[in-house]
Structure 1
Amino acid sequence: LLIPQEFRTADNGAEHGVFCFFSIESDCLEAGGDKLMAEYVSMIEELPFGDDLRTALEETFYAGQRPLAYDGGGRITLPEGLCQEAGLGDDVVIVGLGSRFQIWDRARWNARRDERRALARQAVRERGEAGRLALRARRPQGEGA
């Protein structure tokens, strides 16, 4: 699988390879470099040792991840077990998410994409409404409508 250049940068710590695992959030694979690793480690270490949530995160993230190096052309070979777990076939799509990216079965992603766009639109509308309310609350009485 060819990883686009913008995902293979020093900024996200993925210039030499990525960590790949079954996503905790969705039915896909998730991958990223050192920055993503640090985010998960920080989240896990915030929880007390022995806490059930911490153990679940450790089992899912640490036990499920595979370090993958790029070949000379910027490609990685996805482990068959991870592909089976995520239901990946020959037609996949890479979805960039800042410090990480997800690898989806194209048909599954196409079905999810419209739902996620609608949710994102709702988030933008709600944020805009909250911002307008906050602005109105800061205005002195009698100014503006």
Structure 2
Amino acid sequence: MFLSTFEKQLDGKRRLLIPQEFRTADNGAEHGVFCFFSIESDCLEAGGDKLMAEYVAMIEELPFGDDQRTALEETFYAGQRPLAYDGGGRITLPEGLCQEAGLRENVVIVGLGSRFQIWDRARWNARREERRLLARQAVRERGEAARRARARGPAGEGA
């Protein structure tokens, strides 16, 4: 899994050191990563073979010719950049992806389980508190739903 958050710098050639713990056979990113502009956020998304398999499965669940399938194919497959590590464990980000994600010198690599995101540090810092509040709300709502389910009993009794 891709875990933790790392502050890094892009050098003048847009090279980025990927944390050693991210470069494993377990997550399919032993030799490099797949990288593309994120579908859900203004950052880059990357991962190994497991991430690729998740997207392929999601796309293939939709019927061929379906507008949502085509949109996913255009965004994921067409936007994909397979990036191999150099001898020092760095990837070189394409200029177009850096511009699209607004990446400057200071970036943050954010582990998200089967994937990780690469954010401009200022954008990430601005987003972080908002996301913590949303996560706190999700935990509370799930806790309330679990308490209601326990109160109803095993067969929906008691409510």
- Assess same fold via TM > 0.5: yes
Report the CA distance shift for 1:144/1:68 in structure 2 as closer, same or farther (over 3 A): same
Q: Shift of residue 7 of structure 1? A: 1.4
Q: Match of 1:45, SS?
A: helix
Q: Shift of residue 18 of structure 1? A: 0.2
More strand by share: 2
1:133 to 145, 148, 153: 148
Deviations 1:40-99 (A, max 9, x none): 000000000000000000000000010000111111110111001111110110010001
TM-score, with structure 2 as normaliser: 0.85
Q: Shift of residue 137 of structure 1? A: 2.8
Contact 2:29–2:47 under 8 Å retained in 1: yes
Contiguous gaps of at least 5 residues in structure 2: 1-15
Report the CA distance shift for 1:137/1:3 in structure 2 as closer, same or farther (over 3 A): same
User: After TM superposition, which residue ranges in structure 1, 4 or more long, deviate above 6 angstroms?
Assistant: 140-145
Report the CA distance shift for 1:106/1:144 in structure 2 as closer, same or farther (over 3 A): same
Contact 2:17–2:88 under 8 Å retained in 1: yes
Q: Match of 2:116, SS?
A: strand
The alignment's C-alpha RMSD in Å is: 2.4
Report the CA distance shift for 1:133/1:55 in structure 2 as closer, same or farther (over 3 A): same
Report the CA distance shift for 1:144/1:71 in structure 2 as closer, same or farther (over 3 A): same
Cα separation, 2, equivalents of 1:35 and 1:103: 18
Q: Match of 1:72, SS?
A: coil
Q: Which moved more, 1:68-77 or 1:30-39?
A: 68-77
Cα separation, 2, equivalents of 1:142 and 1:95: 41
1:104 to 103, 119, 123: 119
Contact 2:151–2:158 under 8 Å retained in 1: no
Residue correspondence of structure 1 range 16-95 to structure 2 within 5 A: 16-95=31-110
Report the CA distance shift for 1:137/1:77 in structure 2 as closer, same or farther (over 3 A): same
Deviations 1:2-21 (A, max 9, x none): 11122111121001100000
Count how many residue pairs are aligned between Structure 1 and Structure 2. 144
Report the CA distance shift for 1:79/1:132 in structure 2 as closer, same or farther (over 3 A): same
Query: Which of the pair has the greater relative contact order for Cα pairs under 8 Å at 6+ separation?
Result: 2
Contiguous gaps of at least 5 residues in structure 1: none
Paired-residue identity, %: 92
Cα separation, 1, equivalents of 2:41 and 2:127: 10
Cα separation, 1, equivalents of 2:69 and 2:154: 48
TM-score, with structure 1 as normaliser: 0.93
